[in-house]
């Protein structure tokens, strides 16, 4: 069970996120991706960003919380939605872009590296990743939910030579310069294989993996 499986945590997040819609980030993404490109959103939560992405792209939303998925499906019965974990990205489909807003900070560095490898394998040739993070150092834990802060140099180190970095920029969400976004382009080399996910996945909410 994850942090966002209980209904009350979902409701709490929706209240807290009111007023944020990420339109500015999606406008940046549009400078890298042509209209109509296939975009997978990871950790869609309430789906506010998915609705904006859907105006420009052929979108698939995903989350590992059934509550977020079911709530969005109730109001968007035709939406393409996947129950997907951000570490193992278990899907046979390939996408032109994989996008997330403030989701990958729930991973440890080791999990983030594995996730990036798996995402790379789920991208079409010349595919692009677009993700945002909280900028800073260290990490906190709230009821088993990890909140990691990343610096530019730390992200560069994790990305290594897996991708070309098209952009790695600071922006402001709740406070001045509190966030980072990255735009990564897949390099045309062999598929990457992380070590077995079960070996690296941390124990999370309710002490489960």
Ligand X SMILES: C[S@@+](CC[C@H](N)C(=O)[O-])C[C@H]1O[C@@H](n2cnc3c(N)ncnc32)[C@H](O)[C@@H]1O
**Residue from the set 39, 54, 63, 89 that interacts with ligand X by CB under 6 A:** 63
Q: Which is nearer to ligand X, 108 or 124 (CB)?
A: 108
| Measured CA distances, 86 to 48, 153, 196 (Å) | 19, 22, 14
Where is 94: in which H helix or E strand?
none
- Is 65 a residue that touches ligand X (CB under 6 A)? yes
Query: Could you say which DSSP state residue 71 is in?
Result: H
Q: Give CA–CA dist 195/198, Å, rounded.
A: 9
- Is 101 a residue that touches ligand X (CB under 6 A)? yes
Q: Which is nearer to ligand X, 142 or 156 (CB)?
A: 142
* Side-chain-facing half-sphere of 133: CA atoms under 13 Å: 28
- Is 89 a residue that touches ligand X (CB under 6 A)? no
**Residue from the set 33, 48, 59, 123 that interacts with ligand X by CB under 6 A:** 48
- Looking at residues 128 to 187 of the shown chain, list those that interact with ligand X (rule: CB under 6 A): none
Question: Six-digit token pair at 77?
Answer: 């019965």
Work out whether the CA dihedral 174, 178, 183, 189 comes out positive or negative: negative
The residue written with tokens 């209980």 in the block is 6
Q: Which is nearer to ligand X, 99 or 188 (CB)?
A: 99
Residues whose CB falls within 8 Å of the CB of residue 209, separated by 6 or more in sequence, listed in order: 198, 201, 202, 203
The residue written with tokens 């966002």 in the block is 4
Q: Which is nearer to ligand X, 63 or 96 (CB)?
A: 63
Partners of 130 in beta bridges:
99, 183
**Residue from the set 25, 37, 40, 45 that interacts with ligand X by CB under 6 A:** 45
- Is 85 a residue that touches ligand X (CB under 6 A)? yes
Minimum distance of ligand X from residue 111's CB (angstroms): 8
**Residue from the set 25, 38, 54, 64 that interacts with ligand X by CB under 6 A:** 64
Q: Which is nearer to ligand X, 48 or 112 (CB)?
A: 48
- Is 102 a residue that touches ligand X (CB under 6 A)? yes
Minimum distance of ligand X from residue 189's CB (angstroms): 26
CB atoms within 10 A of CB 115: 25
Query: Could you say which DSSP state residue 62 is in?
Result: E
Minimum distance of ligand X from residue 85's CB (angstroms): 4
Residues that bind ligand X (CB under 6 A): 2, 4, 17, 43-46, 48-49, 63-65, 68, 85-87, 101-103, 106
């Amino acid at each position: 069970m994850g942090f966002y499986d209980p209904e009350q945590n979902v409701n709490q997040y929706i209240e807290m996120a009111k007023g944020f819609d990420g339109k500015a980030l999606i406008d940046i993404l549009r400078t890298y991706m042509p209209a109509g490109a296939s975009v997978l959103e990871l950790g869609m939560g309430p789906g506010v960003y998915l609705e904006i992405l859907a105006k420009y792209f052929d979108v698939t939303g995903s989350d590992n919380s059934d509550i977020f998925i079911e709530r969005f499906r109730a109001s968007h019965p035709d939406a393409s939605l996947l129950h997907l974990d951000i570490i193992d990205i278990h899907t046979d489909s390939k996408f032109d872009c994989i996008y997330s807003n403030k989701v990958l900070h729930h991973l440890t560095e080791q999990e983030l590296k594995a996730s990036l490898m798996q995402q790379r394998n789920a991208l079409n040739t010349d595919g692009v990743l677009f993700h945002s993070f909280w900028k800073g150092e260290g990490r906190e834990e709230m009821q088993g939910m990890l909140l990691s802060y990343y610096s530019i140099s730390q992200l560069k180190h994790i990305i290594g030579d897996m991708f070309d970095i098209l952009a790695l920029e600071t922006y402001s969400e709740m406070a001045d310069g509190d966030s980072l976004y990255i735009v990564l382009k897949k390099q045309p080399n062999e598929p990457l294989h992380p070590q077995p996910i079960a070996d690296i996945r941390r124990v999370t909410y309710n002490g489960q993996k």
